[in-house]
Amino acid sequence: MVVYPPAKKRPQGLRVICVKWGDKYPSDYVYKLQNMCARHLPAHEFICITETPVEGVSCNPLLCDLPGWWQKLGLFQPGLFPGNNIYLDLDVVITSSLSAFVGALATDPTKLWTLDDFSYSLRSPKSVSGETARQLGGAGTINSSVMLWQGSPESEVYQIWEDFNPEVMDVLHGDQNFITQSLYPYSIKFLPDGYVQSYKYGGRKQAPLVVFHGEPKPHQVGDDWVKQHWV
């Protein structure tokens, strides 16, 4: 039986959330993300959403019965996470302060703050057709590796959960494609340029936050700066 520690009263301040579903990522990824957030974010509560508690980490049970990355949609159930929230994928590397992210959220707290996709940009869409177009659900998509929102009655992010129908999982590639369909363009804001980089497409340049989408993952590379910060 899975046993979670007693639930803590959730503060109204800053919260960092990650999701560990299944066995794709070992617990080491959770520990390292928690450590990086402690070094590079203001005081916050760190929560891992998982079906298997991670020792020494504040964990909550899965939020819904959706598989894999679709589990992220459960984050946007009304009233679930009051205050300011940052969601981070487990496969990111933080190299310096992310305070600018929190500042961006304060400028428009009713929106979902996130990234333009590295492969299928919304701001610079490219022509797609066939199966790719069907899975995208449009000309481009956000990248849901990093998402910020304020859990308040005025927030527009709850439209995601209200719009969701499980049948879309048979059509769209993943959670970020559905989030795009639900919120873009009126309820999406993009995080400041230059603060997030793709390891795959960024020429291995450092940025405050580097996303390891696809392959390779942080444990598979030997760059000195990754070894320095992914601890």
Are 135 and 127 contacting, i.e. CB atoms less than 8 angstroms apart? no
Residue 153 lies in a domain: yes
**Residue 102: closest CA among 83, 78, 74, 82:** 83
Calculate what percentage of the chain has a pLDDT beyond 90.
79
Q: What b-and-e string marks burial along 160-197, b requiring 16 or more CB atoms within 10 Å of the CB? A: bbeebeeebbeebbbbbbbbbbbbbeebbbbbeeebbb
The total domain count for the chain is: 1
Residue 142 lies in a domain: yes
Residue 125 lies in a domain: yes
Query: Which residue's entry shows tokens 């590379």?
Result: 221
Question: What is the per-residue pLDDT for 124?
Answer: 83
Whole domain around residue 160: which residue ranges? 14-90+97-192
86-107 pLDDT, tens digit each:
999 999 999 999 998 899 999 9
Residue 213 lies in a domain: no
Question: Residues 19-23: what's their mean pLDDT?
Answer: 95
158-184 pLDDT, tens digit each:
999 999 999 999 999 899 999 999 999
- Residue, of 126 and 166, whose pLDDT is higher: 166
Residue 9 lies in a domain: no
**Residue 69: closest CA among 164, 145, 160:** 145
Question: Residues 56-82: what's their mean pLDDT?
Answer: 96
Question: What is the per-residue pLDDT for 158?
Answer: 98
Torsion sign over Cα 200, 223, 17, 52: positive
Residue 198 lies in a domain: no
Residue 147 lies in a domain: yes
Residue 26 lies in a domain: yes
Q: What angle do CA 218, 178, 205 make, to 5 degrees?
A: 30
Confidence of residue 9 (pLDDT cuts 50, 70, 90): very low
Question: What is the per-residue pLDDT for 7?
Answer: 44
Q: What is the CATH number of the domain that holds 149?
A: 3.90.550.10
